[in-house]
Amino acid sequence: MNVNTGKAAGWRGVIDRYSEFLPVTDQTPVVTLLEGNTPLVPVPRFAAAIGAKVELFLKCEGLNPTCSFKDRGMTLAVSKAVEKGAQVIVCASTGNTSASAAAYAARAGIKCVVLLPEGNVALGKLAQALIYGAETVEVRGGFDAALNIVRELGLTGLVEVVNSVNPYRIEGQKTAAFEICDALGDAPDFHFLPVGNAGNITANWKGYREYHAAEKSDTLPKMFGWQAAGAAPIVDGHPIDNPQSVATAIRIGNPASWQGATSAVQESAGSIGKVSDDEILHAYQLLARTEGVFVEPASAAPLAGLIRCVKLDQIPAGSIIVATMTGHGLKDPDIAIKQAGVTPKRAEATLESVRAAIGL
Ligand SMILES: *Cc1c(COP(=O)(O)O)cnc(C)c1O
């Protein structure tokens, strides 16, 4: 297999690269921060550590401009909003959508309003919304309540909604599947990813199907989505009133793209499962320690899922698996420090004292 995992020179963002697959014209004012073209990193040490005899690659979406995959959809959603003359965009967010919306609005010179669930947004994400200059409102309620308000705001016609209920978000996000096929030379056997509002599993599956239909790839992957056990409406078969998880990005009780996720797993002969917070945090730390790849907790859900599948012997040896690492670990430093469970050792500023501290 000839895998091109590097950054291409002269990259001008996902709209430029994949315009033939996207609803844009020469007149569309492209608002881009050169998102996409993220590395597909092989992680053999992690695979060995979990006893998986597979070729595992991580699509490291935390290397996008605002450090999550949300930038792929946001470049298109904001470009289309500007094209139709919108002055204000609005979103509800567990954090990463707001970070991305705020950045692309700043880039476009328009206003951004973000609604966040009070007290449950990771520190890095909140910092982003604030520094990019978004009007930031903490709502006393969860993500689902905030999204309902955003939908109603959208109906006033005064603002453009850039949540993934906006179809341009899904269109932009499907480019991740194109890049994976371009890098591997074909689709992988399995694609693992976290599921929150379920836009991304919907988008990636759409991307694989479109690339296949255009004969840019010969095969289709099985889509394996993973929810957090305390926020697993699709697995449990009903909306969850008060979803809970350490993985705040997937702490969603009533996914907007529920149907899209169900179709993706049915059509691809995949599945949606759930993993506990303990399993998520174990995978999160193991990845960082075995490979030097630091992702946010939600991104570790598919890795926890893979650990499960390997234990149950559900993955044929030699399979090519891609897992989407949806967001960067620095988004949520509090969890990392807590999970590491250690604090820095202390020493005097002398060689002896440092040697004593490290036992060398
Ligand atoms: C948004 C997000 C998810 C969930 O994606 P959905 O499209 O809502 O299913 C997972 N991980 C991270 C880091 C995210 O930002």
**pLDDT tens string for the chain (360 positions)?**
556 655 567 999 999 999 999 999 999 999 999 999 999 999 999 999 999 999 999 999 999 999 999 999 999 999 999 999 999 999 999 999 999 999 999 999 999 999 999 988 899 999 999 999 999 999 999 999 999 999 999 999 889 999 989 999 999 999 999 999 999 999 999 999 999 999 999 999 999 999 999 999 999 999 999 999 999 999 999 999 999 999 999 999 999 999 999 999 999 999 999 999 999 999 999 999 999 999 999 999 999 999 999 999 999 999 999 999 999 999 999 999 999 999 999 999 999 999 999 999
d(CA 200, CA 219): 20
The pTM assigned to this predicted structure is 0.95
pLDDT at residue 119, as a whole number: 85
Ligand 1 is surrounded, with C-beta below 6 A, by 68, 70, 96, 164, 194-200, 249-250, 296, 298-299, 326-327
Q: Which atom of ligand 1 is nearest to the CA of 225?
A: 9
The Cα 308–Cα 279 span in angstroms is 9
DSSP state of 62: G
CB atoms within 10 A of CB 7: 10
Please tell me the distance between residue 200's alpha carbon and the centre of ligand 1 in angstroms. Answer: 7
Name the nearest CA neighbour of 245 among 288, 290, 299, 295.
Answer: 299
Tell me how far CA of residue 338 lies from CA of 196, 214, 281, 334, in angstroms. 23, 47, 10, 6
CB atoms within 10 A of CB 150: 22
Q: Helix-strand-coil percent breakdown of the chain, rounded to 5?
A: 45, 15, 40
Q: CB count, 10 Å around CB of 344?
A: 6
Amino acid at 64: N
Q: How far is the CA of 301 from the centre of ligand 1 (A)?
A: 11
Mutate to test the pocket of ligand 1, among 143, 326, 328 (most ligand atoms within 8 A of CB): 326
Alpha-carbon gap, residue 169 to 294, rounded angstroms:
25
Measured between alpha carbons, how far is 352 from 360 in angstroms, rounded to an integer? 10
One-letter amino acid identity for 296?
A: E
Tell whether the torsion through CA atoms of 30, 249, 274 and 254 is positive or negative: negative
Task: Please give the structure tokens belonging to residue 164.
Answer: 């993934």
325 Cα: distance to centroid of ligand 1 (angstroms): 10
Q: For Cα atoms 292, 307, 231, give the angle at the middle one, nearest 5 degrees.
A: 95
Structure tokens given for 309: 């599948």
At 168 the pLDDT is 98
Report the residue among 195, 202, 332 best suited for mutation to probe ligand 1: largest number of ligand atoms under 8 A from its CB. 195
* Distance between CA atoms of residues 213 and 18, nearest Å: 15
In this predicted structure, what is the pLDDT of residue 2? 55
Return the pLDDT at 164.
87
Residue type present at position 218? D
Give the atom of ligand 1 at the shortest distance from the alpha carbon of 198: 9
Contact 9, 70 (CB under 8 A): no
CA of 247 to the centre of ligand 1 (A): 10
68 closest CA partner among 172, 159, 147: 172
Looking at residue 120, its pLDDT comes to 83
Ligand 1 centre distance from Cα of residue 170 (Å): 12
CB atoms under 10 Å from CB of 11, counted, come to 14
Which candidate, 120, 128, 138, 140, places its Cα nearest to that of 247?
120
Report which ligand 1 atom has the smallest distance to the Cα of 326: 13
90 and 153 in contact (C-beta within 8 Å)?
A: yes
Q: Which atom of ligand 1 is nearest to the CA of 327?
A: 13
Q: Which residues share a beta bridge with 170?
A: none
Residues in the chain: 360
